[in-house]
Amino acid sequence: MADVFVVRHGQTDWNVARRFQGHTDIALNANGLRQVQQLAVRLAREPLAAIYASDLVRAHSTALASATLHGLPVHAMADLRERHFGVFEGLTASEIEQRYPEWYRRWISREPDFAAHGGESLEGVSTRVLATLCQIARRHRGRAVLVVTHGGALDLIYRHVIGVDLKAARTWETPNAAINQLHYDNGTWRILTWADEEHLS
């Protein structure tokens, strides 16, 4: 068994503008930098054994703030990255609809096997992220770990744990720098806390 704190990176300017980031390497904005410091202070009381993060700068920077307080390294993993959105990256939803109307229709329909040109499908990224999360939990049995990833990855983790189909509309939040605590025991996940933002001001 293991307790896994799974956190979305702090805010970026593209989050504010609602632009799809995917694998595009966007840094935290000023608010995001404040958020990750507040997150680090909140997690300072947790007995973290290890810290993992997507290797994209917005996630790695978020993890580094907590790693500094715990005296731990950040293990960067490309498999914790956000979904690759291909030609959608850098665009807003309205821009995608205007430029790629047929692909937009398939994307908002949440077709599990659909991938925009150069990107990943929901099925593909779900398999990647969940396998990596299970690997981390098994590696740290009986311990607590921090995993910093992305909003889309968190959405897929939530769906897996709760048992929600990939095609279902999202009715839950994945806020920047919020705390989501999961418990892993012998292949089974359970949510202890989701979207806790009490540490953020």
Instruction: Report DSSP letters for 109-145, one per residue.
Output: TT-TT---TT---HHHHHHHHHHHHHHHHHHTTTSEE
Identity of the amino acid at 11:
Q
Q: Is 60 annotated as catalytic?
A: no
Query: What whole-number distance in Å separates Cα of residue 5 and Cα of residue 172?
Result: 17
Q: Is 75 annotated as catalytic?
A: no
- Catalytic residue chosen out of the listed positions 60, 82, 120, 140: 82
Edge-to-edge strand list for the sheet holding 144-149: 74-77, 48-54, 144-149, 2-8, 179-185, 188-196
- Catalytic residue chosen out of the listed positions 9, 60, 84, 140: 9
Residues carrying an active site annotation: 9, 82
